[in-house]
Amino acid sequence: MNLVQRRGPAWLVMGLVLLLAACNSDRPEPAEADVPSAGLRLRVTRVATHPFLSRYRLTLQVEGSRGCTDTAELFPDTGYAGRRNVYAQASGVITLLGQYDARVIDPAQCRIRLVEFQSVGEPSKFLGAFDVDAEKRWQFIPASMRPERPFEKH
């Protein structure tokens, strides 16, 4: 007689609960940031793509104060590379900078463009970051709560 048969179904149920608790949920986790100076609301939604590994699909949605919207799929988080720093550029555009991609958001037209990292050289102000907090919750962390964390380039 094996251990599960001797201990009864309670062990099986407890094992199943522990296994499910270790799994990533595929429920969307939105995080939002308002950028009043640009009249924009940014939302980066994270959705798990693997039940056990830290793999997430990231989607950026922009909403303007005049009702315009745009959406873009970001480079996926393939293992602790999901953080996106947010900057206000001197020209008025907003930049979302990740470990492997950069997006520029034009507030006048609510348009998201993928750009080369080299084109993000103009003076900018760090506004905050979409990232996980100390409790591993996905959210926007403003610059007043956590200083800028630059990306390590490999």
Q: Write the pLDDT tens digit of every residue in 69-126.
A: 999 999 999 888 899 999 999 989 999 999 999 999 999 999 999 998 766 777 799 9
Q: Domain span at residue 77?
A: 25-142
Tokens of 101: 């991609």
Strands 94-98 and 102-106: antiparallel
- Supply the pLDDT for residue 22: 45
**Domain annotation covers residue 113:** yes
**Domain annotation covers residue 65:** yes
- Reported as a pLDDT band with limits 50, 70 and 90, residue 21 is very low
Separation of alpha carbons 127 and 88, rounded Å: 7
Res 8 pLDDT > 70? no
**Domain annotation covers residue 14:** no
* 3-class secondary structure per residue, 86-116: EEEECCCCEEEEECCCEEEEECCCCEEEEEC
DSSP 121: -
**Domain annotation covers residue 82:** yes
* Total count of domains within the chain: 1
**Domain annotation covers residue 37:** yes
The full DSSP string for 2-19 is: -HHHHH-HHHHHHHHHHH
What average pLDDT does the chain have? 85
**Does the reported pTM lie above 0.85?**
no
